[in-house]
Structure formats: C-alpha cells, structure tokens
C-alpha cells in the first residue's frame, strides 16, 4: 500500500508544471487576442503597404 501511495504522489508532482504552463500559455494567447482586437487598422496605410510588393514584383 505504501508503495502505491508514493507512486501516485510522484505522478501528480511530475505533471503539476504542465497545468501551470498551460494556464500561462492560455493567458498569453488571450492577452494578445485582446491587444489585436483593440488595434485599429488604417486602411490607406494598409493599401499602400500592399501595393509596394505588387509594384516590385510586376516589373
């Protein structure tokens, strides 16, 4: 019985970092999605940037 308890405890301790890491990655993803959703895109600047590669490749 004592051997089983030790094994169960080591399995729990070994994967505890994974839960913390998963929470961190999820929080970072939510943070960057929030930043992206609040960003405003200037349509004129976007079109100018899109035209630049087109003009250089069409020569």
Global confidence as pTM: 0.47
pLDDT of residue 9: 60
**Domain that includes residue 41, residue range:** 2-57
Buried b (16+ CB within 10 A) or exposed e, 31-53: eeeeeeeeeeeeeeeeeeeeeee
Residue pLDDT, tens place only, 1-54: 555 555 566 555 667 889 999 999 999 999 999 998 888 778 888 888 888 887
Q: Is residue 59 very low, low, confident or very high in pLDDT (cuts 50, 70, 90)?
A: low
Structural domain count, the chain: 1
pLDDT of residue 8: 60
pLDDT of residue 21: 94
CA 46 to chain centre: 24
């Amino acid at each position: 019985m004592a051997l089983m308890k030790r094994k169960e405890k080591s399995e729990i301790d070994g994967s505890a970092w994974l839960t913390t890491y998963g929470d961190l990655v999820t929080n970072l993803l939510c943070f960057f999605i929030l930043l992206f959703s609040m960003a405003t895109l200037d349509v004129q600047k976007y079109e100018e940037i899109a035209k630049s590669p087109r003009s250089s490749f069409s020569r």
